[in-house]
Amino acid sequence: MKQKETLLNIRLNGDKIDLSDIVIDDMGDNHISTSVDTPMRKDAFELTDDQKVEAITKHFTAIMETLGLDLTDDSLKGTPKRVAKMYVKEIFSGLNPENKPHMAMFENKYKYNEMLVEKNISFYSNCEHHFVPIIGKAHVAYISNGTVVGLSKLNRLVQYFAKRPQVQERLTMQIGKELQKTLGTQDVAIVIDAKHLCVASRGVEDDTSSTVTAFYGGKFKEDKSRNEFLRYLEIKTEF
pLDDT in the model for residue 16: 53
The question of whether 127 is a catalytic residue gets the answer: yes
Q: Could you tell me if 181 and 80 lie in one domain? A: no
The domain total for the chain is 3
Instruction: From the candidates 139, 166, 174, 198, give the one annotated as an active-site residue.
Output: 198
The question of whether 128 is a catalytic residue gets the answer: yes
Does any domain span residue 173?
yes
pLDDT in the model for residue 12: 42
Find the helix or strand (DSSP H, E) in which 174 lies.
Answer: helix 168-183
Residue type, 172: T
Instruction: From the candidates 54, 128, 234, 238, give the one annotated as an active-site residue.
Output: 128
pLDDT in the model for residue 3: 46
The question of whether 51 is a catalytic residue gets the answer: no
The question of whether 129 is a catalytic residue gets the answer: yes
Report the alpha-carbon distance of residue 132 to residue 165 in Å, rounded.
9
CATH of the domain at 87: 1.10.286.10
Q: Could you tell me if 61 and 143 lie in one domain? A: no
Q: Bridge partners of 68?
A: none
The question of whether 130 is a catalytic residue gets the answer: yes
Instruction: From the candidates 54, 130, 169, 178, give the one annotated as an active-site residue.
Output: 130
pTM recorded for the entire structure: 0.85
Q: Could you tell me if 57 and 130 lie in one domain? A: no
Q: State the residue range of the domain holding 56.
A: 46-91
The question of whether 139 is a catalytic residue gets the answer: no
Does any domain span residue 204?
yes
Instruction: From the candidates 90, 127, 174, 222, give the one annotated as an active-site residue.
Output: 127
The question of whether 59 is a catalytic residue gets the answer: no
Report the alpha-carbon distance of residue 138 to residue 140 in Å, rounded.
6
Report the alpha-carbon distance of residue 53 to residue 92 in Å, rounded.
12
Give the tens place of pLDDT for each residue, 59-95. 999 999 999 999 999 999 999 999 999 999 999 999 9
Q: Which of 49-58, 95-104, 193-202, 224-233 has the lowest mean pLDDT?
A: 193-202
Does any domain span residue 40?
no
Nearest to 233 by CA among 192, 198, 194, 199: 192
Q: Could you tell me if 146 and 57 lie in one domain? A: no
Does any domain span residue 39?
no
Query: Within a 13 Å sphere around the CA of 125, how many CA atoms are in the beta-carbon half?
Result: 32
